[in-house]
Each structure stands twice: as structure tokens, then as C-alpha cells.
Amino acid sequence: MEIVGHLIDGKNVTENTATMPLTNPATGIQASELALASAEQTRGAIEAASKAYPSWRATLPVKRAQVMFRFKSLLEEHLTDIGYLIGREHGKIPHDAEGEVRRGIENVEFACFAPEILKGEFSKNVGPGIDSWSEFQPLGVAAGITPFNFPVMVPLWMYPLAIVCGNTFVLKPSEKDPSAALYVAKLAHEAGLPNGVLNVVNGGKEVVDVLLTDPAIKAISFVGSTPVAESVYNKATSEGKRCQALGGAKNHAIIMPDADLPNAVKALTGAAFGSSGERCMAISVAVVVGQQTAKDLVTNLKTEMSGLRVGGPQNNNNDFGPLISAEHKQKVISLIESAEAEGAELVVDGRSPKLSDEDRGFFLGGTLIDKVKPEMTCYRNEIFGPVLCVVHVDNLEKAMELVSEHEYGNGACLFTRDGEAARHFSDNVEAGMVGINVPLPVPVSYHSFGGWKRSMFGDLSAYGPDGVRFYTRRKTITQRWPSHSTKETTRFSFPAS
């Protein structure tokens, strides 16, 4: 059986102290075996990155950018192969998997602008014959810990930018679907990365503990659940490391009475059920203003959902695939059951979807739950499955209160034709990413991605301008070349211009 290993100092490593099965979630059958890195192997990857750092830091930014240009080209060339690996271990349908990769490629494109994004600031004559400027210098070795739901895109949020800024990198992908991330890292080496600049170690807690405590690691990027994000952030910062840790979400879509309802229904269907709801920007709550609006929305959603196609990645006509594991499927089912028990109305039940004979994995169909209350378990918790809850309110202010009072503040959107309402919402809602008639307000690569409150721990968001600042540190130089004819006097006060 195929063994999925590690990439350490440019070498494929499969030696291991333990293994775990990698299961195809669409079939429930083991697809391959994952080698779990030991603490010693993880430290070996960090050592390789440390040794590669001085030379890579000294490489001209334009040369680093040229590697990124070649990397981008290779990603596009191998798009279908990468999508296949995502489908085999995650279950994404090819159109969804390739969409993920393309969004990741956008971050590589941003990294291609290294000479521009690393330009400092310069001020001439800040004092008599004195110039001052700032430079943005790399940190050293950075690390990334990434989730199962976007096995290619999220790593590409991290290491292309970290590397193009002059750092070296150690990546720990999710142990549930690591093959695509490993394959893409090998393409980065094919593009011209020197050995040791990018390393991949697969494993669990043992690997994470080393990354969080090894003094050679200067910065940690993390994406995952809120409890783990908070733990990673606290441990990393206590060890003196920089850390950005992105956690969970409960993204709301507010539907106003004046909204373009057909557009809102189609947008909500894609945003709630795409990727089986396993994405941190999924819309899991529709907050509907007015009883008639709620009735119309639920009726139209029920009709739209009747055409959803659920199945495995072998059929590109399917809309979405399985959940990642049997355990996660059961967790989502338990939240659906809690909604029924607590008095919500189950309008569309996805617990027994119609499937083909070959689809015997961890499938749930789209589920619509109406008349959900804020105190219900299904509202308070992140579901991370193909489930949309509908909450009724009387006005926009009540809707915004729900968004702003939730412990998560990742994303929120508003469907309306009213520009004044849209402006008020975007100015005042307590969420880090906001959409107006846009259900998934995921920032493009030259902006930055990050939520508020317990959706994000750290001061700098992922990728874009914040990513550049996260993977660099500012150094300010003040310089003077006095003339031979200058007569110096001793100063005891603080100098001023």
C-alpha cells in the first residue's frame, strides 16, 4: 500500500515510528498509509530549514519571485492531478477542488510581487544631513499548521509569502488529507526552491508540540477550530513566537424584505452547502427580517435544495461530497437532532441522502432547519456541515445584534437593495469580513483574511499586506555622513531637527 511520508531537506522520507490509515471519505475504504513523523524527524526538518535560511535570506527578492512565477505555472499545469488527490482524501468534487487550488494560486501570484511588497520607506533630511529609512527583514524559520478542509489553499496562504519574504518554512498539513499538500510542496522544489527552504512533516500532536516549543521557529501560522487555535496561540506566544491563529466561525446572512430573493436563495444554497459546509466562511445561519420574508425564503430554499446532487468526486456533476470522517458526520447529525429536540422545525432532512451504489462513505445531504432560536445548541455551535439554520427577527437592528453578540466574528453578509442599510451594516456589524449581496466575502489575495473575536487570535491576519508584515520585522536605520568641515558640539539633550 502507498505510504505518504514527509519532505525534509528536499528528500522524500517514509521512515516512521508509527502510521495511520488514510481513508477515502466517499467510499469509507482505506486509500493509503500515512507515516507519522517523530519528534526527532520534526527537529530534523527544523534544522534543515535553519541551515537553508542564511543563503535563502541572501537571495535577491527578484530571484525568489522568479521561483514563485515557475511555481504558479506548475500549479496550473498540474491542476487536475492536485484536484484528484484532494478528492481522494477529502472527497471534494473536481470543480470544487480545482476552485480551491485556483484561489491558492492567487496567493502565489501575490508572492510574485516580492520586489514591490518588500519595498521599505525612505525619508531624506529628517535632520541636518540625516536620512532615515525602514526595511522589512525576514524572521528566520516559520511554521504552518493547516486544516483538512482546504488541504492546498490554506498552505498556499502561508508558505509562498513567508518564503518570498526570505524565511524558510516547515509545514504540518492535516493528517486527514496530507497528500495534496505534499505533492504541491514537491512542485515548489521543482520550481527551483533550494533544499531545506520548504519542509513538510506529517503527524499529530507530537509534531505540533515540537513546532510550538523549538526555539528555531520564530513564527507560527495556524488554521483550525477555536479551542485549538486559542491553545496554539497561547503556547506559541508564551514561547516568544509570533502567532496568527485562525479559529472557528458562525457566519450569518441577513435577508432584508427588499432583497432580491431569487439571488439570495441561490447564493445561500451555494454558501451553506458547498464543500459540504466544511469551510470557515460557510453561511450556517440565515437571519430573516419579517415573517413574510422568512416564509418566502424557506419555501424557495426548499425548492432549490430539492435539486442538490450529493455524491463522490468521481462525478463532476455532483454539487458536494462527503464529510471528512464518520466521527464528524455523527457530530453533525447530533446537532441536527438537538435542533429537533429543542423545538426547531426540520424543513429539509439530509440525514438519508440518495446516493449511487459506489458512494458508501460519510455523506449528509443539505439540511434546512427553520425557527431556530439563539439559545439552541445548533445556533451556538459551529456545525461545519451542510446545515442551514433560519432565525426570524423583526428588524435589521435585531439581526445585527445576533451577529455582534455571537462569540465568533468571522464573516457576515447582508442581502438588500437599500444602500443606507448596507452602509450601516458594514460600518457597525461585529465581524472581520463583510459581504453586501456577496455570501462568501473571502478577501482576494492582495487584501488580508481574518475574523474578529474568537475567530482570530493575533494582531495580523492571513496573507496579503498583513501576511507580509507577519513574516517580516521592521528595521529602521538613521544615517548621517558628516562633512569634514562640520564642527561638532557635545549634546546632552535629546536631538531634534
User: Is 112 a catalytic site residue?
Assistant: no
CA angle 345, 347, 351 (to 5 degrees): 105
Region label for 315, one of left (φ > 0), alpha (ψ between -120 and 50) or beta (otherwise): beta
H or E element in which residue 163 lies: helix 153-164
Q: Shortest CA distance to 182 belongs to which of 58, 45, 349, 340? A: 45
- Sign of the Cα torsion 352, 180, 217, 445 reads negative
- Grid cell of 430 as nine digits: 461585529
DSSP letter at 37 equals P
Question: Which of the residues 280, 378, 389, 413 is marked catalytic?
Answer: 280
Where b means 16+ CB within 10 Å and e means fewer, 40-66 reads ebbbbbbbbbbebbeebbeeebeebbb
CA angle 88, 91, 94 (to 5 degrees): 85
In angstroms, the CA 304 to CA 313 distance is: 22
In angstroms, the CA 352 to CA 366 distance is: 10
Cβ partners under 8 Å of residue 12, min gap 6: 5, 6, 186
H or E element in which residue 229 lies: helix 226-238
- Grid cell of 98 as nine digits: 480545482
In angstroms, the CA 368 to CA 346 distance is: 6
| Residue 15, strand partner residues | none
Contact 108, 156 (CB under 8 A): yes
- The residue type at 281: M
- The residue type at 388: L
Contact 290, 378 (CB under 8 A): no
In angstroms, the CA 155 to CA 95 distance is: 19
Q: Shortest CA distance to 221 belongs to which of 245, 252, 205? A: 245
- Grid cell of 50 as nine digits: 535553519
Contact 241, 167 (CB under 8 A): no
Active site residues: 280
